[in-house]
Structure 1
Amino acid sequence: MRIVSALAALTLSILLGPAPATALGCEDISFDGQDYTICRVDMEQDDLRLFLDAPDGQPWAQFGRIDAALEATGQRLAFAMNAGMYHADRSPVGLYVENGKERMRAIPNAGPGNFGLLPNGVFCFGSGRAHVIETLTFLKEGPACPYATQSGPMLVIDGELHPRFLEGSDSRYIRNGVGTSSDGRMAIFAISHRPVTFHEFGRLYRDGLGLDQALFLDGNVSKLHAPAIGRSDFGRAMGPIVGVAAPKADDR
């Protein structure tokens, strides 16, 4: 049994990879009458990854499964959030690239639901940088993305709110998203504490956080794993998950 366990841990270590110390920081903030939790990921120091399927071929589905697998390799899940929309079998709706391997192609055309509310976008990251890029621009420029997930709608495009957002909308959900700094060094994830409109959520990124590019991730399933502030959501199974792996001994 010990030999099997050791081999399993070695396999997980190869699949999940080593993790450097983390500069990650999560905090609760208020903006324009709404409360949010934001997590800032330093792309030069933090080991940000996407997670979809476990080594057994089944979706990870829950933060706890990833954390347990990382623990077997001397690491931990320091932060995580659901990372885009998915089908009933938890496969991604749009572009999904994990560790350089494309699982699903980009979808450029309009369609039903929030994903198809163009313009939508791609969260592309790796090699110390992260960028939120509008989908048609992404397809035109073809940047190299070791990791990428497509979702929609865009929240902020080149400093402007999505043109379909209405200030007086009555569509409110707990929502989560990601924005990136202009130099690509910082990825900022946010989740609302209470149901908010797209307009309110977009303004958080544009006016509250001062970011020119931001992408909506979900509003039906919005979950956060941030053990440093005592939070780890569970419940409904997820598809793509974005998270930071860190050494187990690093308690920051």
Structure 2
Amino acid sequence: MRARIKAAALALLFTSPALAEGCRDLSHLGDSYTVCTVENPSTLNLWLRDNDDQVVGEFFSLREMLAEEGKTLTFAMNGGMYHEDRRAVGLFISSFQEQARLVTREGPGNFGLLPNGVYCVEDGTARVIESRKFAAKPPACRIATQSGPMLVIDGALHPRFTPQSTSRKRRNGVGVDGKGRSHFVISNGIVRFHDMATLFRDVLDSPNALFLDGTVSRLFSKQLGRSDVGPRMGPIIGQALPSQ
């Protein structure tokens, strides 16, 4: 009986609108989030500079650049932490080219709150990998961005997260579920790390999930007619499809 109930619950989970391709709004523990789900990671890319070696920085600039390439941006969000000059803080790989190195040491701020991790797409497969595991056996990532902290590590929440935390900020992150789907999440208000992590683990079926950034988090969604304004971004991650 318990096995049948568990199987039914899993079947409901995998058919949940929260796990469908595309972007949608949902509520979790009283907070509002937008989730953009991508089934085929080969449609994802990571951008920092344009063809003139200038920082892209804005969604409208990215859309214009892609239009010149015959592509349409379906969704995008800031794709990791960056320095004042918009360079990535940790590992940054685009089109197999490493532009910033992996950082495995503990340090200040959210990035250095170990364990941190890497979102990597290789051979059509997306993964979130803890940074020191990544360093021990680096995969051949077509794109990769490092950030921190990890939100979920092998099904467990980051050990520093508590439901009583008073640290509430606008945040965004990414997780990969049991079927290999990438879930890009942004909060529509201020949230705790703990609560966002449980969204990935309990609703989005993501045993590993990574915080990308906070406060400056922004989202573009063609489907939702949304293009957030805010501070100029560094790395941007998103999905580009051939224009029709």
Q: Structure 1 length as normaliser, TM-score?
A: 0.86
- The aligned counterpart of 1:245 is 240
- The aligned counterpart of 1:28 is 25
**1:145-156 to 2 correspondence within 5 Å?**
145-156=141-152
Asked whether the 8 Å contact 2:152–2:158 carries over to 1, the reply is yes
- The aligned counterpart of 1:41 is 38
Q: Deviations over 1:217-245 (max 9, x none)?
A: 00121010101111011231100000111
**1:12-161 to 2 correspondence within 5 Å?**
24-43=21-40, 47-161=43-157
Q: Does 1:191 align with 2:194?
A: no
Question: Displacement, 1:248?
Answer: 2.2
Q: Which runs of 4+ in 1 moved over 6 A?
A: none
Unaligned runs of 5+ in 1: 1-22
SS in 1 for 2:111: coil
Question: Displacement, 1:32?
Answer: 1.6
1:41 partner amino acid? V
**Aligned pairs, number:** 225
Q: Structure 2 length as normaliser, TM-score?
A: 0.89
SS in 1 for 2:223: helix
Identity %: 50
SS in 2 for 1:67: helix
Corresponding residue to 1:173 among 164, 169, 172: 169
Unaligned runs of 5+ in 2: 1-19
Q: Deviations over 1:171-223 (max 9, x none)?
A: 1111000000235x311000011100100110110112121000000012101
SS in 1 for 2:62: helix
Question: Displacement, 1:74?
Answer: 2.2
Question: Displacement, 1:24?
Answer: 4.5
Q: CA RMSD in A?
A: 1.3
Corresponding residue to 2:222 among 210, 224, 227: 227
Q: Deviations over 1:79-137 (max 9, x none)?
A: 10101000000000000011010001100011000000000000001321100000011
